[in-house]
Structure 1
Amino acid sequence: MSRSSGSDAANRAQVEPLAALVAVFVVGVALTAYTGVLDATIPTPDRNVADPTVERANRALTETGIADPEALAAGLRAGPDGYRLNLTLQAAGQSWHAGPTPPPSADDAALAVSVRIAPGSVRPGRLRAEVWS
């Protein structure tokens, strides 16, 4: 009689360690390939570059938190590389522009700002950035 009659079933169910590692590797490669193909086929929306641009432009033309219309042209340097930028500042019925005329398809974003109308005169206003490539 065999002394290991009960352990024969357990020995038959074991897998070689190398075969198990190869199986795990193959499953990992298959999942990676699947996610790569899935990522390439799902369309992603174009990113809106106007939102961060209007915030950077605001920082470029504000002095202690108050936008200066005279510095509007300096805000054009806040545009992302490879894109064109138009800035519009409006307050108290006045409007200031800097940059080329934007096309209708340009991304746009606006931000409420305080605007220095004259020395000692600050009014609520709006800074609008239009960005396109």
Structure 2
Amino acid sequence: MSRWSTRRGQVEPTAALVAVFAVAVGLTLYAGALDSLPAAEDSRSVAEPTLSRVHESLTATGVANPADLHDTLAAGPDGYHVAVTLAADGERWRVGPAAPPTAATAARPVSVRIAAGVVVSGRLRVEVWA
């Protein structure tokens, strides 16, 4: 065999370490760039879970009480604004700032206590935006 045939396929250890380091740095930079991008959440993936949390918070006893509506604002996701509206028997209660037209919305029926011993059917609606 010639003297070149014994070196075929071999790499210097320093060159191999530099290549591994370059790949590791590239992957780290790529992962960091992906992590810094804002989440691409559609309206259903933000509004529906928020509605569920607001509903659980407001109807802990099974019936929504409009007096407890202000406590539901804390149920929104971090980094988002939330507005909650409760409508029943021709009345409407709302907490939170005015929502832009692009806000994600979700609604569901709920029982509402409008007076002592008086429970009517109503509608709970949330609006969520960044």
Classify the TM-score, shorter chain.
0.5 to 0.7
Partner residue in 2 for 1:46: 41
What does 1:1-133 correspond to in 2, within 5 Å?
A: 46-47=41-42, 48=44, 49-133=46-130
RMSD: 1.7
Matched AA of 2:41:
D
Report the 3-state secondary structure (helix = DSSP H, G, I; strand = E; otherwise coil) of the residue aligned with 1:101: coil
Matched AA of 1:122:
V
Q: CA deviation at 1:46?
A: 3.0
- Structure 2: gaps of 5 or more residues: 1-33, 35-39
Identity of matched residues, %: 51
TM-score normalised according to structure 1 size: 0.65
- Structure 1: gaps of 5 or more residues: 1-39
Q: Which has the larger radius of gyration?
A: 1
- Name the count of aligned residue pairs: 91
